[in-house]
Structure 1
Amino acid sequence: MSDTGAPPDLGTSSYSPPPPPRGGKTGTLGALMRRKPVERLVADAGHGEGGSLRRSLGMWQLTMISIGATLGTGIFVVLGEAVPDAGPAVVISFVIAGITALFSALSYAELAGTIPVSGSSYSYAYATLGELVAWVCGWCLILEYGVSVAAVAVGWGQYLNELLSGTVGLTIPDVIAAPPGDGGIFNLPALLVVLLAMVFLLGGAKESARANAIMVAVKIAALLLFCGVAFQGIRAGNYAPFMPLGMAGVSAAGATLFFSYIGFDAASTAGEEAKNPQRDLPRAIMLSLVIVTALYCLVAAVAVGALPWKKFSGTEAALAGIMKNVTGQNFWAVLLALGAVVAIASVVLTVLYGQTRILFAMSRDGLVPKVFSKVHPKTGAPRANTVIVSLFCGILAAAVPLGQLADATSIGTLFAFALVNVAVIVLRKTRPDMPRTFRTPLSPLFPAIGFVLCLWMMGSLDLITWVVFGVWMVAGLVFYFAYGMRRSRLATDQK
């Protein structure tokens, strides 16, 4: 580890595996509950099969990764769903959703600074809650990131069609722009955007972070452009009544909007490629949440001022419609569509990055095949991992009609968030003297609130989402007991 890596008093240089357990919990139960010590997690950081990840990311690059994963399709389409519930008070709904996300973000910030490794909540669970819980968490993250990449890639193709239609009057035929069952044979644009992200990732973390930073700058500029243009159409009367459906409507909209914040945890997957992870990861997570919340509230305030709230019902492309109404021209709406295309491409890039780093950590621990932790010595990127994940997600997006299955990304995310809140409480109890560069305030109260809020959000999801989640969990447990439990590095070290 470099000087800017693990805190020196963690003792990573002298770490040795613990001896086999004597007495107490043994056999299968002991295997399920074995934990990977924080010191070992940090000592293993960066090391893969045949090479090491490179520490090349600064705080702003990490922040851009989280913003890139968070700021995507949500703000471009979500207002049409939330404003009919909350009216002009949708701005308050965004604040409520942001505060809801904040409790989990605080927990992520503490653990990211304390355990600066790839794997995000999977690694945090491994250190605190045991191998089985860590596996379940990692399996949830695979579902979250994999389905999310595919769903977002499908959305990218739709926005690309809108952009082409508005600029050159062309549209991609449904036969090659939609999967079977949705009127087509193969969704070529969805596959292409995933392959494009793969190319950037194969160049290494620094190169892909640079590309992401440019795309994030473009989409922030697009949203600020919207605010500047739509501001001319603001009418004071559009803000009255401010809360037409009462606080119940504001709360309902807040629950809908919460999912626009998913992605702030993306920086935590870059723990082994950050130059100074203990300092920069907590800052990046919190800063990204503040920036995204501020942008959401600004866009929402301008949008409801420029268009009466009752006219938002059923309008998915609300922002583009407002710009067209204010200016009377298609030009600005086309620019916004371009911003949306770039925005969604950066989400594909950052979420795909997170997926590869989580599988990298799980592979290094022996829970999934070693191919996922092989690092290319020249680029410092897990190349085979990146290619396998990209091809899988690309084909999933291109050939499978996702429909309501896309909601599975929400339940996987919330489950991981809930476990991170628990992990903070457990680590405070079991390792109170461990160096922490960021501490969640009012612990264990704030993590407990974050845990309860995650469960509440999970309860609001549809039955089909729970069915998909259940089937996925059963498949994951079968894989773990058949493969991961016996091949775990903790198991082999104790033989």
Structure 2
Amino acid sequence: MRLWSKITRKEDPKMYQSKDQHLKRVLTTKDFLALGIGTIVSTAIFTLPGVVAAKYAGPSVALSFLAAAVVAALVAFAYAEMSSTMPFAGSAYSWVNVVLGEGFGWIAGWALLAEYFIALAFVGSGLSANLRGLISPLGITLPKQLANTLGTNGGWFDLIAVVAILIVAFLLSKGASTAARVEDILVVLKVIAVLTFIIVGATAIHPENYVPFIPQHHLNPDGTSFGGWQGIYAGVSSIFLAYIGFDSIASNAAEAKNPSKTMPRGILGSLIIGVILFVAVSLVLVGMFKYSNYAGNAEPVGWALRHAGHPIIASVVQAVAVVGMFTALIGMMMAGSRLLYSFGRDGLLPNWLGTLSKDNLPNNALAFLTLISVLIGAVLPFTTLSQLISAGTLIAFMFVSLSIYKLRPREGKDLPQPGFKMPWYPIMPALAFLGTLVVFLGLDKEAKIYSVVWFLIGIIIYFAYGMNHSTLGKQKK
């Protein structure tokens, strides 16, 4: 078989339905909203508004969040239609495999895999930093060897991050419904914490801190832009990772009840709630204190509340935030393990990854994901992790946006009619692609270099192993 024919060979959607039928359909719209909100409203909402305001956008950080939300929403419409039509495990990987072909599906899936590996380590690291900040006033401190990543301030590994990831892995090994119940409770607590900050912080707003709302443009010492539309754009690329959580919903589509309705509601609903909370937190934060106060501040929300005279509320909000970060770990770990399961299911990675436990759970994939995430989190510091999450996800988003053009002609034929369709077709898919491309181009040079290295590794694995062991390839012979 010619090389191009192998790369573009398409999976029969009925085969995915057959392969995924052993996964239990137990997740409802409420569960998907909790998964999405839990992943979107996570570490980022308690850190990024202050960081981006100080470094890039000033008071106009809210515009950066809105612009990023517009791009995310365009892609979310595509995700909603795809997941409604093809409720398979693996999200973008499985969809692109069906509509564009195996090689393109692998690239999209490999891009998402980077997101899950790195995001788990990122959230674990953020959880650890916030928890250590909470307990340090009590005189409880960890040895520097167990509080920092390898090579950072004499660290060996981040013990709290490792323990947090292992706890979530254990919980998920007991089943999606168990994890979903825990997720529902933690998400409610976290949203209450965010709303508490917004309400209390709003009483301490000083209008003069909003002037000028869009500062004059100049270059930072590191060469990045501050102020003007350039600063807003730089902020968009930095904070886009805040909205990528809706992909974690799509990866669990094979476990959804009535997916044609629950998937679009979960994806679009969680994004809308996330946007409202992010914009509100941003406006309150820069209104309480001048944006320059948040430079290099790893906990701007807690800092602002304490300096506004609310130390007890600050401690409570931060404590709930730490507990709430487990929701992001649950969402990302569920999604990542289902993606790895999909690779193993299709033979593109070793088959044992696609093997289900006696309870019909992808626990082999879960164990592998946990191991790699712990290793990444032990080696790479928090600041480096935060730069690497968005690149792979944006590339996968581009593939999904373009795949709508191949999906539409097949709906109602070999694919079912979806319960939701992306509006303004064929214009909106193009806008979604262009929007994600613009955000990708705004990423820093280091993130782009790492993403190129990651894709080279993925291409090598596909040609050396996946192409020759693919179950689809064996069927085509």
Q: Flag whether TM exceeds 0.5 (same fold).
A: yes
1:358 is matched by which residue type in structure 2? L
Match of 1:398 in 2: 378
- The Cα of 1:201 is off from its aligned counterpart by 0.4
2:40 is the alignment partner of 1:76:
no
CA distance in 2, matches of 1:406, 1:332: 27
Q: What secondary structure sits across from 1:436 in the alignment?
A: coil
2:343 is the alignment partner of 1:362:
yes
Equivalent pair of 2:302/2:318 in contact (CA under 8 Å):
yes
Shift in alpha-carbon separation, 1:218–1:45, aligned structure 2, 3 A: same
- The Cα of 1:431 is off from its aligned counterpart by 4.4
After superposition, the C-alpha distances for 1:319-359 in whole angstroms (9 at most, x for unaligned) are 111111222x5322221221221232221221111110011
TM-score by length of 1: 0.89
Mark the runs of 5 or more structure 1 residues left unpaired by the alignment: 1-25, 47-51
- The Cα of 1:395 is off from its aligned counterpart by 2.8
Equivalent pair of 2:76/2:268 in contact (CA under 8 Å):
yes
Q: What secondary structure sits across from 1:442 in the alignment?
A: coil
After superposition, the C-alpha distances for 1:48-84 in whole angstroms (9 at most, x for unaligned) are xxxx211111001011111112111111111222224
- The Cα of 1:138 is off from its aligned counterpart by 1.4
2:354 is the alignment partner of 1:373:
yes
CA distance in 1, matches of 2:212, 2:387: 33
In the alignment, which of 176, 199, 205 is matched to residue 170 of structure 2? 199
- The Cα of 1:480 is off from its aligned counterpart by 1.4
- The Cα of 1:123 is off from its aligned counterpart by 0.7
- The Cα of 1:414 is off from its aligned counterpart by 0.4
Q: What secondary structure sits across from 1:78 in the alignment?
A: helix
Greater Cα shift, 358-367 or 464-473:
464-473
Equivalent pair of 1:414/1:458 in contact (CA under 8 Å):
yes
Match of 1:147 in 2: 118
Q: What secondary structure sits across from 1:259 in the alignment?
A: helix
CA distance in 2, matches of 1:457, 1:254: 7
Match of 2:313 in 1: 332
After superposition, the C-alpha distances for 1:432-481 in whole angstroms (9 at most, x for unaligned) are 75402111111121111111111112112222222222222222222212
Match of 1:53 in 2: 23
In the alignment, which of 436, 443, 448 is matched to residue 430 of structure 2? 448
Equivalent pair of 2:241/2:389 in contact (CA under 8 Å):
no
1:75 is matched by which residue type in structure 2? I
2:261 is matched by which residue type in structure 1? R
The list of structure 1 runs, each at least 4 consecutive aligned residues, that deviate by more than 6 angstroms after superposition, is none
CA distance in 1, matches of 2:380, 2:210: 43
Shift in alpha-carbon separation, 1:172–1:491, aligned structure 2, 3 A: same
Q: How does 1:36-435 map to 2 (within 5 A)?
A: 36-46=11-21, 52-84=22-54, 85-166=56-137, 168-182=138-152, 183-245=154-216, 246-327=228-309, 329-378=310-359, 380-401=360-381, 404=384, 406-431=386-411, 434-435=416-417
- The Cα of 1:205 is off from its aligned counterpart by 0.4
1:30 is matched by which residue type in structure 2? S
After superposition, the C-alpha distances for 1:127-179 in whole angstroms (9 at most, x for unaligned) are 1111111111111121111111112212221111011114x232222111112
2:251 is matched by which residue type in structure 1? T
CA distance in 1, matches of 2:372, 2:213: 46
2:474 is the alignment partner of 1:492:
yes
Q: What secondary structure sits across from 1:295 in the alignment?
A: helix
Match of 2:223 in 1: none
CA distance in 1, matches of 2:51, 2:472: 47
After superposition, the C-alpha distances for 1:101-125 in whole angstroms (9 at most, x for unaligned) are 1111111011010111110100111
Match of 1:14 in 2: none
Shift in alpha-carbon separation, 1:356–1:452, aligned structure 2, 3 A: same
Greater Cα shift, 119-128 or 315-324:
315-324
Shift in alpha-carbon separation, 1:313–1:175, aligned structure 2, 3 A: closer
Q: What secondary structure sits across from 2:283 in the alignment?
A: helix
After superposition, the C-alpha distances for 1:3-48 in whole angstroms (9 at most, x for unaligned) are xxxxxxxxxxxxxxxxxxxxxxx432211110113333334333xx
CA distance in 1, matches of 2:380, 2:295: 29
After superposition, the C-alpha distances for 1:281-332 in whole angstroms (9 at most, x for unaligned) are 01100000000011112212222222233433333322111111222x5322
Mark the runs of 5 or more structure 2 residues left unpaired by the alignment: 217-227
Equivalent pair of 1:176/1:184 in contact (CA under 8 Å):
yes
TM-score by length of 2: 0.92
Shift in alpha-carbon separation, 1:300–1:449, aligned structure 2, 3 A: same
